[in-house]
Structures are given as C-alpha cells and as structure tokens.
Amino acid sequence: MVSGNSNIYFWGVYAQPWTNVTTLNLDHWTPENPNTYFPAVRAYTAEDALSPLAKPNSRYLQNGAYMRVKNVTVGYSLPQSLLQKVNLSKVRFYFSAENIFEISHIKVKLDPESLGDGNRPQAAYPFQRTFSFGLNLNF
C-alpha cells in the first residue's frame, strides 16, 4: 500500500490552499453530495496538526501495485535470397515502442514510480510514450 498523503498532486487544494482545484479534488463533500472521497474544501492543509485530514486513518491508503511495459522492439530481416538480387548484405525493418502502457489503481494520474516512500513528495508526470520506425541497410 502507498499513501498519497505526501504528494501535492494527490491532495491538490488540501495540501496547498492557494493552488487550483484538480479534477481529482472535484470529488469532495457537499451537502448535496455527501458520499465522496475527499472532505469539504476548506482553507486547511494536510500537514496542519489541527486539520481533520491530519487524524490517523486508512481512508486514503491506495494500492501502489502497478504493471508497466517499458520497451518493446520488433524487427524483421529480409531473407538473403531476396537481397542477393539487389547486392545488399542485410535489410532490416524495425519498430520500437517505449512506455507503451501502465496499469495502476492510484487515483491521481501520475507515474506510479514517483510516489516513492511517502516521505518525499515527487512531481513526476507519466513517462512520455515514444514510437520509432526504422530501416537498416547493409551493402
């Protein structure tokens, strides 16, 4: 389990009252909507010892397990019987993809590896996805 309580991107206005409300924080208590994830939006911070958020509880513990496919490369080399006709020793086509997808159940859309040990907030957005196509020719 991982706690989101030290990550400002999880808490949003609850950790930094001067910041904007995040989409995640829109699920907050109101009289019309009492069954929500977050409490009512107020000018308090999660670090404030008098804050209702500072009371020990397990409500905001989240499953920190995730699965990620980091790198996949697929290639195909043309057979020598075709290459002899055009005086090439090797022709290879390839496709490579980085950070293809991850499956995570944490509520905030940040990289799961950025949650760290809960004592050091880290601001890490998900890795960029990169796709490459290539052709190698050897004469």
Q: What is the predicted pLDDT for the residue at 115?
A: 62
pLDDT at 40 over 70: yes
**pLDDT bucket at 46, cuts 50 / 70 / 90:** low
- Domain boundary assignment for the chain: 2-138
Which carries the bigger pLDDT value, residue 125 or residue 86?
A: 86
Q: What is the predicted pLDDT for the residue at 84?
A: 84
64-99 confidence digits (pLDDT tens): 788 999 999 999 999 998 888 888 899 999 999 998
pLDDT at 42 over 80: no
Q: At which residue do the structure tokens 């390839």 appear?
A: 94
> How far is it, in rounded angstroms, from Cα 43 to Cα 112?
28
Q: What is the predicted pLDDT for the residue at 1?
A: 46
